[in-house]
Structure 1
């Protein structure tokens, strides 16, 4: 009767084959993720013209920027989203419903406006630039929504791989020091194992957080469904207005919104999608996990300035709090520069684990492969 292998041996075998297969995708996702941690800075570095724009806070008028967009892109009559970066230079703008990419799940028109000279200095579509192409590669493997589902499922398998690695390593009582020690004088096979385990243990928490949040971001519909079962989620009600003459200047509407949430920083301005649409002012309050994508909003009637609705990013339901933290935790923004550095390191851990695991597997194969004997004449026997 054949004796069944112990559970630990089975788990180690599962971990090995998951590492040699899904581990390659894990390493790829980690590398692209590390790049994307600093993608705004990388994009600016690759486009010196954006950094050459002079900055004068007195010259910046949001209404003038909206007028520039309407003048230079007259056929794009829907909603524009203007990003307020706070660091000067060109103003990034997105137009989410371009006709040119109507068949794509997400491919907005991108523009950068010189706020002083009031002209568009760069245009393109999402996926055309280096960093947005890498973003789609990391997020959805360039396969749009189906690719996101694939990455989400792969992420769940990756979580299983991490768990199996910890299970396989977990030391018996009294042997913790030996399990954690790096044996410098050991054989190469043992040193590779020590590097693999210490890198994995050292980065386990970071990798678990980044992977788990990545799964939830890749599977947004499924994530919202599960969370909604435990906590209600915010729903944006329809907000139509009555068109009545010329709309108020955008700068005045921004001032009204800032008065609703004193001390909040302006993050985005979304112009009305139609003559009967509301304008949305997105603000970042101190205490929100994301400065770039906060959840504090004010919807206003663009003709009268009346506040139609608000959303307080600091008074969310528990379910919305979870959703609001996903992206900032995944990219590290929630903890500022320190968090971004940690997220960058977390992306490098899977690469190191894959390389050390692969090298160890190859070395073990070589040691197990019987050497061919050599004949007396120097020929294979």
Structure 2
């Protein structure tokens, strides 16, 4: 019994040290990632707030056709002849934003498309920006890869793993006896500053624990899909993304319009909402019509896709998330869980507040460490002064 009792304080001291040093060494990075993640929950809204020209102040009853919008885009960017990807917003006051991947100006970056926002009622270009060159996309790169491209992703995956250890050790150190659970879950009133700081630290961690665990796990999976996805594929086969090619006709024939391609795609899923239109890249490319069916976890990036031949309008391939295996379903839930959109506004607010608690945990943790260090220094100084006032007798005197 004595052996078990003596091991418990030693084990607690070990995990206390692990929790402390993980927090001090990684806390600032986690605080930055949490804070930027909170802002990115409302990425579109904040981008429009910072750039009010993107908001359509007086939307008219009739939008331009998708083909007319695409032609306005091509006139604005005549040198961009490869495929474009147009995001079609559900809100009538929002612009259509088109992405042109791998532009020459930023081709040395891993991901830095040209983003052109177009008024869907007039075809006027409202903004012409490169990813990473404006506030919200710069914040995204800071959150996702610490502005370090692939190296940053690996580093953040490691940080995510260490965050999981820190969360588990924090729960272990906090875990109270059952009869003290109520006190452990509440803020002590009229307490000292030291006690108030301690309560804020532990309560911020406990009340955000479940969301933090989900964010850490999904964040790791999103940072290193090249390792996580094959691992999930061992449980059920992963579906390869179709890459069907259009068949050029024998005689010269122009491609069908974007509106015809959208109609062909929506005929397969008539109740789904249009989210993205991807135009053909080259003579062999095809349209990809991205739709959202009811019940899909992601609002902006759903997984229902229809590929359409750019010449004949024939449906070449279909990807229906309802027919995917378990591993693909898990992968499709990762991003909407990480952003909170899988649970609607409630989920987004949970992610927002949990991200804001990351700096709180770091600051209160540092304050707690400084308080304890100051306490140890004061005790050491007091013991030194006490020893000076009451010196121990010399061993030689004791022998006499």
> Do Structure 1 and Structure 2 share a fold, with TM-score over 0.5?
yes
User: Hey, what does 2:27 align to over in structure 1?
Assistant: 23
Instruction: Measure the CA separation in 2 of the matches of 1:152 and 1:291.
Output: 25
TM-superposed deviation, 1:161: 0.4
Partner of 2:148: 143
Q: CA RMSD in A?
A: 1.8
Give distance in 2, aligned partners of 1:68 and 1:213: 39
Distance 1:171 1:59 in 2: 61
SS at the partner of 2:318? Answer: strand
Per the normalisation by structure 2, the TM-score is 0.89
Instruction: Render the CA deviation track for 1:244-280: whole Å, top value 9, x for unaligned.
Output: 3111121121111111002100000000011111100
Show the counterpart of 1:169: 174
CA distance in 1, matches of 2:61, 2:263: 15
How many residue pairs get aligned? The number is 371
1:218 maps onto 2:217 in alignment: no
The structure 1 residue matched to 2:164, chosen from 146, 154, 159, is: 159
Residues 175 and 117 (structure 1), Cα distance of their counterparts in 2 relative to 1, 3 Å cut: closer
Name the TM-score, length of structure 1 as normaliser.
Answer: 0.93
Work out which of the two has the higher radius of gyration on C-alpha atoms and give 1 or 2.
2
Q: Does 1:192 align with 2:197?
A: yes
Distance of 1:228 and 1:107 partners within structure 2: 29
Q: 2:238 matched to 1:230?
A: no
Deviates more, 1:127-136 or 1:51-60: 51-60
* SS of aligned partner of 2:244: coil
Structure 2: any 5+ residue segments left out of the alignment?
Answer: 1-5, 383-400
Q: Which of 18, 35, 48 matches 2:52? A: 48
Partner of 1:68: 72
Q: Could you tell me whether the CA contact under 8 Å between 1:207 and 1:349 is conserved in 2?
A: no
Residue 97 of structure 1 and its aligned partner are, at CA, apart by 2.0
Partner of 2:246: 241
Structure 1 segments of 4 or more deviating over 4 A? none
Correspondence for 1:308: 316
SS of alignment partner, residue 235 of structure 1: coil
- Give the Cα–Cα distance (whole angstroms) in 2 for the partners of residues 272 and 177 of structure 1: 61
Task: Select the structure that is richer in helix.
Answer: 2
Given candidates 39, 64, 81, the residue that maps to 2:85 is 81
1:1-381 alignment, distance < 5 Å: 6-52=10-56, 54-88=58-92, 89-172=94-177, 174-244=179-249, 245-370=253-378
Question: Which 5+ residue runs of structure 1 have no aligned equivalent?
Answer: 374-381
Does structure 1 conserve the Cα–Cα contact (< 8 Å) formed by 2:72 and 2:123?
A: yes
Determine if contact 2:89/2:95 at 8 Å carries over to the other structure: no
